[in-house]
Each structure stands twice: as C-alpha cells, then as structure tokens.
A and B are shown apart, each in its own frame.
Chain A
Amino acid sequence: MEKINNILEICNLSIAYGPIKAVKEVNLEINHGEFVALIGANGAGKSSLLKSILGINKAEKGSIFFLGQDITRKPTDKIVSSGLSLIPEGHVIFSSMSVLENLQLGAYQNLADFEENLKRIFDYFPVLKDRSSQIAGTLSGGEQQMLSMGRALMSKPKLILVDEPSLGLAPKIVTDIFNILTELNKEGYAILLAEQNAKKALEGSHRCYVMKTGEIAMSGFSTDLIDDPKIRQAYLGGN
C-alpha cells in the first residue's frame, strides 16, 4: 500500500439537488495536521460539499477518500466512526436534552475514553462544565456553538469539518471560537473550515480554497491569497 500523505482527498465530486447542480467537479485535498479554509459567498456550495463528505448529501459523481479509504458511498455512521466529524452551521444541538447528554451522544462512536474526553472538552470550554446539567436549549448562542463543537470533538475525530462557526455570533465570541480552532489545529487535528468571513478564515488557516457557484475558483496558501488583489476585491472588502 502506498504511503498516504493526505487525510482527505476529493476527486471530481459533483452534487445535484434535482436539476440544480450545487457542486461541480470539485477537487480538494487536506494533509495531516493541516488547517484548510474553504471560502466563498453564500450559496457557493460550501455546505453541500461538507455535508457530502459526511455522506448526508449523496454524491452524484466523483469520489471521496478519507485516510486512503473510499467513503463516497458509506453511511454516515460508518464515516463518523472512521474519524470524521462535522460541526454544522447554526447551532444544531439536541435542545431538550442536557448539555451532558449532548456530549454523551457525541461519543456515540467512541465510548471507550469517555471520561477522559469529557475532561478534555471541559478544558476547552469551561462554560460547558458549569452548565453540564442545564437543558441545552436554554444556553446562549455562543454557548450552543461551543456545545456543538464539544459534541463533535467527543468522537475523537482525526479531521474536523467546521461549517460557518461565526454565523450569527457576536464578534468577540467569533474571535474566541477561531482561537479555539487554531488551538485544536496545533494539537494535531486537521481542520476544514467553510466560512464566509474570509478575513478571519485566511488569517487562521494554512491553505485556502475559494469556491464560486459550485466550483473551486482558486486555491493556494493563505498567506499568498490574503495578498491577492482579486481576493481582496471580492472577499475582503477591497482594502
């Protein structure tokens, strides 16, 4: 077996909703320990792409490899158990269950080191520890986003897919969340971040893909892209 450098590889992936093509022939690759951003306007197909990696949207064409294995047609639970985790956009939590129960559910595929995992997550998000018996629906927006992240981390993923973590949150909390993501990346997690807030995404990430109407319009190192006049024009407000 050949040595695999990348953790995720997407080849010629297309996704369609009925007659509408959301993602067209996308190629994408993430290496171990890398923090990759996926930027693009609303409706560019970022969320569709992330959901299809997890098998929630079925791919029409193309294939997805995770750690060298083809996961294109696998059911979501198998994909999650192989070490992928998605933090969806808009705090998707089990709002009538307690915070602790939410985290327990996150550990569905990885019940072994539950206590240890839980301790780790309470270290990242101390606020969740204080509120562990509270009903999740009563948390604030930022706390719900943290819970959503904590739940995704409970399965000890190798690659975290993050979809629009900044959506609808106050700037200060957005900064906190990005700091946590950077910290997670430093600990060795590979991260794929889909984000409209291009500036923040480019600052934190190593590499970046720019998506436009379902296609990858551009890609490169974040430090290069941040200086690219076209990017500045289109996504960073021109300055």
Chain B
Amino acid sequence: MEIFIAQLISGLALGSIYVLLVTGFNLMLLVAKIIQFAYPQIVVVSMYTCWWVLKLTGNKLIIILAGVSVSIILSLLSEPIFRKISSIEGVDINASFIASMGIAMIMMDIMSHSINYGFPVAFSPDWVGGNIFGYGLITVSKGQLFALLGGIIAVLIFFFLLYHTNQGRFFRAIAENRFAACLVGIPIIKTSIFSYLIVGILGGFSAILFSMLIGSASPWLGEFVALKMLAVSIVAGLGNLQGGLVCGLLLGIIEAMAIGYFSGSWSNVIAFAVMLIVVLMKPGGLFGIKI
C-alpha cells in the first residue's frame, strides 16, 4: 500500500507534465489549426535557457522571466512559418506536422552539437529542492508539488481563460467554425498570434516546472516527450482539451504502475501497448476528435 501510494504520487507528477504539454499542443491545434510537434522542443530550449541563466545569476525571478520569454519568442517566431503554411491553398494540417518535425530536428541537433558539449544539463539542487513531505517511502518533493500544483493551476487558469473570458470565447469560436468566426468580425490572425503567445507562456511555465521535477534536460528529452504528447492527444481525441487532461494524467499513472508492478523490461511497452489497443479500438480517440 505504501508503495502503491508512492507510485501514484510520482505517476501524477509525471502525468501533470503530459497534461501541460498536451494542453498547449491542443490549443495550437484548435486555434491555429496546426500540429505543433516542435512544442516540447521549445520547452526544452527554454529549460536550457533557465539552466544557463541559473549559472549566471541566482535570482529566481530573472530565471523564470528568461525561461518564459525564450519560450514566448520561439513560439512567436514559429508563427509566420505556420501562417504561411496554412495560407497555402490545398495544403492540409499534415503540412504543419511535417514542418514542425523539421523544426524539432533542427532544434535538437543544435542542442546536441553546440550546447554544453552535448552533455545533459543539470539544475542545481537548491533550484530543484528536496523533499517537503516524507513518510517512509511516500515522499513528496518540492518539484513534484510544484509540478502538480503548478500544472493544475496553469491548466485551470487556461480553462478559465478559455471558457469564461471573451478572448477564450474567440479562441473557441475560431476552433469551432473559422468561417463563422470570420463573419462575426473576430480578427483571425491577431487572435491566432495571441494563441501563440499563450502557448509560449504555457511552454515557459512547463519548462520551469519540468526543470524542478526532472532536475535536468538533455537534447533528446524533447523527442521522448513529443511522442508521448502526440500519443496522448490522439488517444484522447485530437483537440479535446478535457480528454487530454484525463489521458495525460492516466498515462503518467499507467507508466508508474507498469514499472512498479510488471516485471522485466517489458514495462516500458505497457503504456504504448495500452495506447495502441485504445487507438485500434477507437480510431477517433477516447473522447472524440474536436477539430
């Protein structure tokens, strides 16, 4: 029982990472109509920035600002590329998937080439923090608490923004019916740039929470989580925000439990096998496609 609770906590913390990523990914999908596969790479670059600024200064505020602003800048920089792609006639959403894959390849290769000799970067212990609660094997570290709370708060704020503010209503209007949104006079491009901004902020906060939870970043971290992010959003149903929330947390828990209770190195396949079976049974995702 002790182990079970401890596994559950770590699974939830891991799941909150997936939730943050999937939420940003789905927003891009809904509002900007793109598959932003490079989103986790942006988060990782932002983690690298945090690491670099952390080395220069100990001021946490500056670190957070630097991480968030790099993420915003990268997100906004990708906007003209994706806008150009979606404006080409006869080109569908796959084109943005392919282009963002190219962008992800570039970012990953530059990180493994040029930053810190390609070594993973580690955050100092006072940034990561130790346990804040401990009872036997059940422990909650500062990173886990922040990831869970921060994840929940960020997603709640995001959902509030989406469902209870005018700007959120415009996002949803564009997601739901671009033509009608155009008719009522919503400025599509301006709103979609704003969505890149929001995703950039979300990415920056994800980067800070990751760095506290994982404690390090490596050039290939983005690729590992990108696949899971894509898988979660498809299993939940592309563009389904609530579904992504549930499935992200579930994936984290399934992974932790699989490792905890299944023997052999097969455990890392279990999460993938579950996702494969779900997708084969329900090709549209568990909660339905929303685009």
Q: Which residues of B contact A96 (CB under 8 A)?
A: 176
Q: Which residues of A contact B182 (CB under 8 A)?
A: 54, 56, 76-77
- Within the complex, the shortest CB–CB distance from A82 to chain B, in Å, comes to 10
Given A88-B179, A92-B179, A93-B177, verify A108-B184 contact (CB < 8 Å): yes
Is B125 interfacial (CB-CB < 8 Å)? no
Closest 9 CB pairs of A and B: A80-B185, A77-B187, A109-B185, A77-B185, A92-B180, A94-B176, A108-B185, A108-B184, A76-B182
Among B166, B176, B179, B189, the most chain A Cβ lie within 10 Å of the Cβ of B176
Binds A, one of B52-60, B112-120, B167-175: B167-175
Given A88-B179, A92-B177, A92-B179, verify A76-B172 contact (CB < 8 Å): no
B186 lies within 8 A of A93 (CB): no
Q: Which residues of A contact B169 (CB under 8 A)?
A: 97, 101, 104-105
- Within the complex, the shortest CB–CB distance from A137 to chain B, in Å, comes to 10
Is B183 interfacial (CB-CB < 8 Å)? yes
Q: How far is the CA of A80 from the CA of B181 in the complex (A)?
A: 11
Q: Count of B residues near A, CB < 8 Å?
A: 19
Q: Which residues of A contact B176 (CB under 8 A)?
A: 94-97
Q: How far is the CA of A151 from the CA of B184 in the complex (A)?
A: 8
Q: How far is the CA of A36 from the CA of B285 in the complex (A)?
A: 49
Q: Which residues of A contact B (CB under 8 A)?
A: 54, 56, 75-77, 79-81, 85-86, 88, 92-97, 101, 104-106, 108-109, 111, 151-152, 154-155
B180 lies within 8 A of A93 (CB): yes
- Within the complex, the shortest CB–CB distance from A171 to chain B, in Å, comes to 26
Q: Which residues of B contact A (CB under 8 A)?
A: 166, 169-170, 172-173, 176-177, 179-190
Q: How far is the CA of A151 from the CA of B179 in the complex (A)?
A: 14
- Within the complex, the shortest CB–CB distance from B166 to chain A, in Å, comes to 8
Q: Which residues of A contact B183 (CB under 8 A)?
A: 54, 56, 76, 80, 85-86, 88, 92, 152
Among B173, B184, B188, B190, the most chain A Cβ lie within 10 Å of the Cβ of B184
- Within the complex, the shortest CB–CB distance from B23 to chain A, in Å, comes to 18
Q: 17 A-B contacts, Cβ less than 8 Å apart?
A: A56-B179, A75-B189, A80-B184, A81-B185, A85-B183, A88-B179, A88-B183, A92-B179, A92-B183, A94-B173, A94-B177, A94-B180, A95-B177, A104-B166, A105-B170, A105-B184, A152-B183
Q: How far is the CA of A81 from the CA of B166 in the complex (A)?
A: 17
Q: How far is the CA of A226 from the CA of B114 in the complex (A)?
A: 78
Q: How far is the CA of A161 from the CA of B216 in the complex (A)?
A: 58
Q: Among B184, B187, B188, B189, point to the contact of A155 (Cβ < 8 A).
A: B184
Q: How far is the CA of A81 from the CA of B183 in the complex (A)?
A: 11
- Within the complex, the shortest CB–CB distance from A126 to chain B, in Å, comes to 22
Q: Which residues of B contact A86 (CB under 8 A)?
A: 183
Q: How far is the CA of A82 from the CA of B177 in the complex (A)?
A: 22
Q: How far is the CA of A54 from the CA of B188 in the complex (A)?
A: 14
B179 lies within 8 A of A105 (CB): no
Among A76, A93, A104, A151, the most chain B Cβ lie within 10 Å of the Cβ of A76
Q: How far is the CA of A96 from the CA of B241 in the complex (A)?
A: 14
Q: Among A54, A92, A108, point to the contact of B186 (Cβ < 8 A).
A: A108
Q: Which residues of B contact A94 (CB under 8 A)?
A: 172-173, 176-177, 180
Q: Among A76, A88, A92, A93, point to the contact of B185 (Cβ < 8 A).
A: A76
- Within the complex, the shortest CB–CB distance from B171 to chain A, in Å, comes to 11
Q: How far is the CA of A151 from the CA of B170 in the complex (A)?
A: 14
B172 lies within 8 A of A77 (CB): no
Q: Which residues of B contact A97 (CB under 8 A)?
A: 169, 172-173, 176
Q: How far is the CA of A135 from the CA of B182 in the complex (A)?
A: 21
Q: How far is the CA of A33 from the CA of B129 in the complex (A)?
A: 70
- Within the complex, the shortest CB–CB distance from B181 to chain A, in Å, comes to 8
Among A56, A77, A85, the most chain B Cβ lie within 10 Å of the Cβ of A77
Q: How far is the CA of A92 from the CA of B180 in the complex (A)?
A: 6
Q: Which residues of A contact B189 (CB under 8 A)?
A: 75
Among A80, A97, A108, A109, the most chain B Cβ lie within 10 Å of the Cβ of A108
Q: How far is the CA of A109 from the CA of B181 in the complex (A)?
A: 12
